[in-house]
Amino acid sequence: MSDGLNSAGNNPQALEDICVLDLTRVVAGPYGGSILGDFGAKVIKIEVPGKGDDARGYGPYKNGESVYYANLNRNKKGITLNLKSEKGKEIFKKLVAKADVVLENFRPGVMDKLGLGYDVLKEINPGLIYAACSGFGSYGRYSQRPGYDIISQGMGGLMSITGCPGGEPTRSGNAMGDMLGGMNMIMGVLMALHARQRTGKGQRVDVSLVDSVVASLENAYIRYFDSGQIPVRSGNAYASIAPYDTYHARDGFVVIACGNQKLYEKFCRLIGREDMITDERFLTVPLRVQNNLIQKAEIEKWTMDKSVNDIVDIILGAGIPAGPIYDVRNITEDQHIASDREMFIDIEHPVIGHMKVNGNPIKLMDMMPRINYPAPTLGQDNDMVFGDILGMDEDQIRELKQQKVI
């Protein structure tokens, strides 16, 4: 690829030799593409001329530009291309010949109808990794259903076990299905890239949002297969361990997590309740889970007259896991999360100006993720990509704009 797409800085990054064509929109796919970009991949975001990614219409806005979009599409170069036009398809195929990865999250079959499906593209580039993320996957009886995050959380089972006991099914407070789908798509891409080193061939990666949520429920299925009982909403309690819950403090709530018998017994001694070690209702983990509400009331006799900070300090001081419940403000002010772990990065966007974006949770200690450039404005890099990579001159690019190909 052209040096025009090289990452900023002199330190090498893990994926700087990989070129990605990112056709994705909204959350799952763009998030996945940004992960690759954070590690140096040359990600070219391809959008519909005049409109762009649907997420450009999502708030909040600053200076007329979507901050929502800017967070999910950093570290990408942006072009516009009309894939419904014959000229647009021709240009896309030329880019595919030079790329390593294509990402898309259209409904299955859309790319085939455009004449740009995997079977066509692999003839152009046999080493191409073609990754698709959709609501229900590319095969199966639901494959043609439209899919959004809330549908994946509902049909994937997450809403059925989230919320207060006896309450309504509750969506996770974030786009959990989208985030899981995006991460799974990129894991698939990285595995396919590794396989290509051995075989020399690319392949398709097929990820479903619903599958991603289903897999995340882990022990819920084990419990169902074992007992035949359908897991229900249990608030903040965990169905496999207790005490492992939130507890009332004088000024809020605190999390206490006794993940094994040794920690449990240490905790009981710490709060002066050695009797709970030998109480027949609490002798084993399954019994404590069964009688969690009874034990929770006993534990709260100790926590209720203490502050969250005091409880956390006392329990952590004894080597037992505990922590406060943060809101977003608390998280941004916590120096470990915000600064030490660099989970919020300050950048300058050409339109938005100064802004913060989410950091990358993956740390390669010798090749750390970094933000090399902000999200592109619509079609920002048309001249550079079409000129430097495909060798078009100014007149050719101007004609493509006049024909509304770009």
Taking the C-alpha atoms of residue 170 and residue 307, their distance in angstroms, rounded to an integer, is 29
| Residues 6 or more apart in contact with residue 295 via CB below 8 angstroms | 242, 243, 276, 281, 282, 288
Q: Name the residue with tokens 């040359």.
A: 42
- Measure CA of the first residue to CA of the last residue in the chain; give whole Å: 21
Residue 228 belongs to what H/E stretch? none
- Is the separation of the CB atoms in 298 and 273 below 8 Å? yes
Catalytic residues, by residue number, are 178
With beta carbons less than 8 A apart as the criterion, state whether 82 and 88 touch. yes
The owner of tokens 């909403």 is 233
Residue 176 burial class via C-beta count within 10 angstroms: exposed 0-12, middle 13-18, buried 19 and up = buried
Residue 19: left (phi > 0), alpha (psi -120 to 50), or beta? beta
Residue appearing with tokens 């970094």: 370
Question: In terms of DSSP bridges, do strands 61-62 and 65-66 run parallel, antiparallel, or are they unpaired?
Answer: antiparallel
Question: Is 183:123 a contact under the CB 8 Å cutoff?
Answer: no
Report whether 49 contacts 80 (CB < 8 A): yes
Q: Where are the alpha helices (DSSP H) in 271-406?
A: 275-278, 285-290, 292-303, 308-317, 328-333, 335, 382-384, 394-402
